[in-house]
Copies of this chain bind each other. A is one copy, B any other.
Amino acid sequence: MTTVKKQATISDVAERAGVSVPTVSRVLNQVVPVSEKRRKRVLAAIEELDYRPSAAARTLASRRSRMLSIVTSNTSRYGYAETIRGIELAARAADYTVTISVVENDDPEVVRRAVTAAFSQSPEGVIVLTFDPAGDATLRSLPTSVPVVALSGARADGVPQVLIDESTAAEELVRGLLEMGHRTVHHITVPAVHGEDGRTTGWRAALQEAGAPVPDIIEATWDPQSGRAVGRELAADPQVTAVLCGNDEIALGLMRGLVDGGRRVPQDISVAGFDDHPLSSLWVPSLTTVRQDFSELGARGVATLLAAMSDEADAGDLHTLRPEVQWRESTAVAANQ
């Protein structure tokens, strides 16, 4: 079985180096100067004993956990995973450790447990991914004992926030599609926050501005297979010539469903997604989509949170990221009927 040898403590190091415990602490935290002579001895002792400070003891004594907590409903889906990666990178650069707590859905009890888990480590700040109802519900039930930042695609009140301006990008996409001769653009959504997400808002605005009909919204789940099911249905509807999807995974599923139903993309139907999933440019046809810089979103989230933690930010703060439309093969001029 694994050999277990006891971890050295700060007093082991102090003893070995022939200095007091606080002196070791000082060389560790390098804020108060320590004479070169002792400093070297301490460093050597640390090396020899393979000493690693106990984060728990540090947290307790300093009342600073150097931890940030992420609350999210999902860790493996592309946009979430990339955002989390961005957060973890930025946090590490600022010398913070990140813990993740997962809220599967917006059930109050589930939310409560996730919040408790998030706070059990006494984080100095919390980042909530409000891409969906679960994140949204969490945001509303967070204690106010610690600074919070929301990362999202739609506005939320009372909390500093980094927002991806999905709405403008969606408008651009829809406008482009209309210019290609499509009578209107259908829209498939993923379950959104309370109210409406920016993609939907932009989509509707662009249609109305152009005087185009606004079709009923089609609701899908987060599972790409649900896009396929929708695709099979839409394949039968000759009215549909262009579809904007809430994310790329749904779009890819949709394309497959359309093919299942005997339609061709983009000759018969144009399809656009949202996110620029790493596989979307490899699809046949490659997918027109909106590139969102999720890891940048995460990094900005951390920056905003650190600002809030040092009182340099407030609840009104709003940082906006401009996503970028990528026109690719899955969209084309409308067929002459």
Interface, chain A (partner B; CB < 8 A): 1-7, 50, 52-57, 59-60, 65, 75-76, 78, 81-82, 84-85, 88-89, 92, 97-100, 102, 116-117, 119-122, 143-148, 224-225, 227-228, 249, 252-253, 255-256, 259, 278-279, 282-284, 286, 308, 311, 313-315
Q: How far is the CA of A82 from the CA of B85 in the complex (A)?
A: 14
Interface residue from B1, B85, B255 paired with A311 (Cβ < 8 Å): B1
Contact assessment for B3 and A120 in the assembled complex, using a CB-CB cutoff below 8 Å: no
Task: Select A55's contact among B84, B122, B147, B313, beta carbons within 8 Å.
Answer: B122
How many copies of this chain?
Answer: 2
Chain B residues lying within 8 Å of A282, measured Cβ to Cβ, are 224-225, 227-228, 252-253, 255-256
- Whether the Cβ atoms of B1 and A313 lie closer than 8 Å is yes
Check A255 against B279 for contact (C-beta < 8 Å).
Answer: no
B2 with A308: CB separation less than 8 A: yes
A122-B54 contact, Cβ under 8 Å, with A2-B146, A3-B144? yes
4 closest A-B pairs by CB:
A76-B81, A56-B59, A256-B282, A1-B314
Query: In the bound complex, what is the Cα–Cα distance between A283 and B84 (angstroms)?
Result: 27
Complex Cα distance A119/B313, Å? 32
Q: Which of B2, B102, B227 contacts A144 (CB 8 A)?
A: B2
- Taking CB atoms, residues of chain B closer than 8 Å to A120 are 52-53, 55, 97
Known: A56-B59, A56-B121. 15 other contacts (CB 8 A): A1-B314, A5-B144, A50-B143, A54-B59, A56-B122, A88-B100, A89-B102, A97-B117, A98-B100, A100-B100, A225-B282, A228-B282, A253-B282, A256-B282, A256-B284
A246 CB to closest chain B CB, in angstroms?
A: 16
With a CB–CB cut-off of 8 A, which chain B residues contact A88? Answer: 75, 100, 102
Chain B residue contacts of A146, Cβ below 8 A: 2, 4
Instruction: Kindly provide the distance from the CB of A69 to the nearest chain B CB, expressed in whole angstroms.
Output: 10
Given the contacts A119-B52, A120-B53, A279-B249, A4 and B144 also touching, CB distance less than 8 Å:
yes
